[in-house]
Amino acid sequence: MTMADVEAESSTQPEAMEEENPLFSNLDLFLFTLIAGLIIYWFMSRKKAEPIPEFKKLDQPAPSTRETSFIEKMKKTGRNIVVFYGSQTGTGEEFANRLSKDAQRYGMKGMAADPEEYDMSELSRLAEIGNSLAIFCMATYGEGDPTDNAQDFYDWLQETDGELDGVNYTVFALGNKTYEHYNAMGAYVDKRLEELGAKRVFDLGMGDDDGNLEEDFVTWREQFWPAMCEHFGVEASGEDSSIRQYELKEHNDINMNKVYTGELGRLKSFETQKPPFDAKNPFLAPVTVNRKLNKAGDRHLMHLEVDITGSKIRYESGDHVAVYPTNDTAIVNRLGQILGVDLDSVISLNNLDEESNKKHPFPCPTTYRTALTHYLDIIHPPRTNVLYELAQYATDPKDQENMRKMASSAPEGKALYQSFVLEDNRNILAILEDLPSLRPPIDHLCELMPRLQARYYSIASSSKVHPNSIHICAVLVEYTTKTGRLTKGVATTWLKNKLVADNGHKSTVPMYIRKSQFRLPFKASNPVIMVGPGTGIAPFMGFIQERGWLKEQGKEVGETVLYCGCRHKKEDYLYQGELEEAEKMGVITKLNVAFSRDQEQKVYVQHLLRTNKEDLWRQIHTDNAHIYICGDARNMARDVQTAFYEIAEELGGMTRTQAIDYIKKLMTKGRYSQDVWS
């Protein structure tokens, strides 16, 4: 009951009145009017609550009026093809943009779309647009998961029972055969859309990044478009010229405070840091430790610690830290020199399609130097579409012919791309150096280069022990290509050079946390079996710290068994002191280290697993142990899994099929987890 109700109730019960008095006195009338007014006011205020004033921060952009209906957008702009992408590292988005641009060559009009930005329940309305088609370029992340930007779409597909009759679709899946759940997301989208009544107009494409993803995509695409022309009754225009997506604007007189210098979202976000921190707003974490882990050998293995004090960032053991590296200054300078441009020119690349959500390919306005240093991937060998579009600028007809040939699906062209670009590992600088007739305008080059992506590292610490610090373990990538060029890994070279103090300033790392399903068991009393050779030991340093902390809290902690490995005990035994101390304190129940090259016959972690098969089988089959694998997916993870099959066969009395099924069930129950990379 409100105050108005209380007043109304109490004041409408007057004391007994004498008969000769008027029915209502002046006071009664006044009170009655007052009460009626209060009731009306209360009723009106209930109907329309006073809006709470919003206090906008001066540096915050105005609320977005972005269109969330892709159907309305397609109708408004005369598009009939929409290409959705699920992308974690940018490749799915890149392929979607290529397909969207292709549509124009076939008399159709396409748009690339991030499913996170649109209401995907509108998919059923696609039939309202004549000759319409939805293409899905869907990457699989981790253990068969959707990418971050496709998570909501995946959830909707699982929950919806909507009808998609009349919706035409096709799917190209991006994955890696070395992973257990190869192309799981693409295959699921393909199957689920059909179940909901949509019509598959071209077969599911399977892209394998362990082989040649670019070749898989080009082959699928070159079969796909002729099939679409036939389906829709249209003919290719035969237009081979490059289709620019962005136009260059040079800023000759601009306030430099309005120019991006490496920020990923909000301008000046690196100067005034504000939580929450995420992919578009990373935290600049100061580096407090950067030490070499290996005592000898020709490799550089490193341990870094970054400080997250005051950031409100929280993490759990098993999570990933994403860092944003920058490209080597020498390579950026050489690109500027070879193309004869002033790298400090301030420019914007503006989308020619005014209706596009993507106004620029990277934050603008900025300089060419910033774009090539912070925003563009100039180290990876370029994809065939980049060569195709740049071919027009080669003055030597032979160079032009070869570049176009490499972008085709003809066997000769595929072989040329494989040898000249992939096997010789030529990045864009190497291609420009080796093809002197090729001198494209730098703005077109910047338009075509893919975005430089964050790199993910398994966190090598526990927040229970280090709440304000995140530890990273990495190995420097460095090798000489067939053309004699020294190639350095972008992120690991950048991390190696992150000295604790640099000219009196603290070195910082732009970072954010990516949550993982790689988690210690809920019950601390469950045994854990950790297998992580090389830098695969990283998340287990966090697990070991956490199990030690739980013991200190008086919790009952199950067996904690570690299988790790390195080449030589005296050279690259990572975290030797910490591991031996943890074993001495009883935090690690059993420490098993494979020194692969300290004897004539190589010894790996899978060999040690077989040696301890009785203990392992008891822990897994009787004691409900959880198994964790971290490291190389291509060989190690597969060999380790085979070792577990063999143990289940021998000690569980199973056939190979039953053993495989047994391990698969452990995976389903969350008792066999992998954090692997290829």
DSSP string, 320-376: EEEE-----HHHHHHHHHHHT--TT-EEEEEES-TT-S---SSSSSEEHHHIIIIIB
What pLDDT shows up at residue 37? 61
209 is in an annotated binding site: yes
Average pLDDT over every residue of 357-385 = 96
- Three-state DSSP state, 65: coil
Structure token pair of residue 580: 């031996």
pLDDT level of residue 40 (50, 70, 90 thresholds): low
Q: List the domains of the chain with CATH numbers.
A: 70-232 (3.40.50.360), 271-324+454-516 (2.40.30.10), 326-453 (1.20.990.10), 528-676 (3.40.50.80)
For 675, the enclosing helix (H) or strand (E) is strand 672-677
92 is in an annotated binding site: yes
- Annotated catalytic, 458? yes
pLDDT level of residue 34 (50, 70, 90 thresholds): low
Q: Which of 114, 216, 377, 675 is catalytic?
A: 675
Residue 6 has pLDDT above 90, yes or no: no
- Annotated catalytic, 42? no
Average pLDDT over every residue of 363-381 = 98
205 is in an annotated binding site: no
What pLDDT shows up at residue 240? 56
535 is in an annotated binding site: yes
Residue 484 has pLDDT above 90, yes or no: yes
Residue 60 has pLDDT above 50, yes or no: no
Structure token pair of residue 297: 């050998």
How wide is the angle at C-alpha 73 spanned by C-alphas 70 and 75, nearest 5°?
A: 110
What pLDDT shows up at residue 471? 98
The sign of the torsion formed by the CA atoms of 153, 155, 160, 164 equals positive
b/e 232-251 (16+ beta carbons within 10 angstroms → b): beeeeeeeeebeebbeeeeb
Average pLDDT over every residue of 600-629 = 97
* Ramachandran assignment for 624, one of left (phi > 0), alpha (psi -120 to 50 degrees), beta (any other): left
pLDDT level of residue 105 (50, 70, 90 thresholds): confident
561 is in an annotated binding site: no
Query: CB of 400 within 8 A of CB of 408?
Result: no
Tens-place pLDDT, residues 170-211: 999 999 998 888 999 999 999 999 999 999 999 999 999 988
Residue 253 has pLDDT above 70, yes or no: yes
Tens-place pLDDT, residues 542-568: 999 999 999 999 999 999 999 999 999
pLDDT level of residue 107 (50, 70, 90 thresholds): confident
260 is in an annotated binding site: no
pLDDT level of residue 33 (50, 70, 90 thresholds): low
What is the rounded CA–CA span in Å between residue 546 and residue 528? 12
How is the beta sheet containing 366-367 ordered, strand by strand?
A: 246-251, 346-351, 366-367
What pLDDT shows up at residue 38? 57
174 is in an annotated binding site: yes
> Cα 591 from chain centroid?
34
139 is in an annotated binding site: yes
Pick the closest to residue 537 from 557, 566, 513, 515 (CA basis): 566
Number of Cα atoms under 13 Å in the Cβ half of residue 394? 21
What pLDDT shows up at residue 28? 54
pTM score = 0.86
- Annotated catalytic, 220? no
How wide is the angle at C-alpha 95 spanned by C-alphas 238 and 177, nearest 5°?
A: 125
Amino acid at the residue 651: L
Tens-place pLDDT, residues 424-447: 999 999 999 999 999 999 999 999
Average pLDDT over every residue of 240-258 = 88
Query: CB of 432 within 8 A of CB of 339?
Result: yes
Hunting for tokens 């005051």 — which residue is that?
A: 310
- Annotated catalytic, 630? yes
176 is in an annotated binding site: yes
What is the rounded CA–CA span in Å between residue 476 and residue 492? 5
- Which region among 65-79, 454-468, 512-526 has the lowest average model confidence (pLDDT)? 65-79
pLDDT level of residue 668 (50, 70, 90 thresholds): very high
200 is in an annotated binding site: no
Q: Would you call 135 exposed, middle or buried from its count of C-beta atoms within 10 A (0-12, 13-18, 19+)?
A: buried
What pLDDT shows up at residue 238? 61
Amino acid at the residue 544: I
Q: Which of 311, 348, 458, 507 is catalytic?
A: 458
Q: What is the DSSP letter of 422?
A: I
Q: Which of 156, 549, 617, 677 is catalytic?
A: 677
Query: CB of 559 within 8 A of CB of 566?
Result: no
What pLDDT shows up at residue 355? 81
Residue 633 has pLDDT above 60, yes or no: yes
What pLDDT shows up at residue 467? 98
What pLDDT shows up at residue 228? 93
Q: Which of 137, 630, 632, 673 is catalytic?
A: 630
